């Protein structure tokens, strides 16, 4: 069963990003669309998932050069081609340190905000939020 082809606007909408961002991902060699005979880009469901993955990695703080490396490693693993040069492993380990620091900072911020809300007359806001998330 062939997948339905879509244009850049639909891809962007389905992935929750702007068309400009999709074009940027292409310029950074993170995304490679098919081209129709008229030169228009053509995307499918796999592109939607890839754009979501890219956007999530970028939003988590990874620079696009590392996103590209990480996606290449994921593609290699999916194709049973284990491959990770030492230089890439070193870059990823360095980035992991930064991620751990950001997680620690966010965790401390979350606890400070929770503690503050719990001590105010707005403690119910916190309880309502927790109940909505459950």
**Alpha helices (H) along the chain:** 8-15, 19-27, 45-59, 64-78, 86-118, 123-133
- DSSP-derived secondary structure letter, 59: H
**pLDDT tens-place string over residues 19-48:** 999 999 999 999 998 888 888 889 999 999
**pLDDT tens-place string over residues 17-26:** 999 999 999 9
Q: What is the mean pLDDT of the chain?
A: 87
| % residues pLDDT > 70 (the chain) | 96
Under CATH, which number does the domain 1-84 receive? 1.10.1660.10
**pLDDT tens-place string over residues 66-110:** 899 888 888 777 777 667 778 878 888 888 898 899 899 999 999
- Tokens 């850049």 — which residue? 8
pTM of the predicted model, to two decimals?
0.65
**pLDDT tens-place string over residues 49-72:** 999 999 999 998 888 888 998 888
């Amino acid at each position: 069963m062939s997948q339905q082809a879509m244009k850049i606007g639909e891809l962007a909408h389905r992935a929750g990003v702007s068309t400009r961002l999709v074009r940027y991902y292409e310029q950074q060699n993170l995304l490679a669309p098919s081209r129709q005979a008229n030169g228009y880009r053509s995307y499918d469901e796999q592109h939607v998932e890839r754009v979501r993955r890219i956007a999530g990695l970028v939003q988590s703080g990874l620079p696009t050069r590392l996103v590209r490396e990480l996606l290449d490693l994921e593609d290699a693993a999916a194709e049973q081609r284990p491959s990770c040069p030492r230089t890439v492993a070193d870059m990823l380990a360095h980035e992991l340190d930064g991620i751990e620091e950001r997680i620690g900072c966010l965790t401390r911020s979350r606890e400070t905000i929770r503690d503050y809300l719990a001590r105010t007359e707005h403690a119910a806001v916190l309880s309502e939020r927790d109940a909505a998330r459950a």
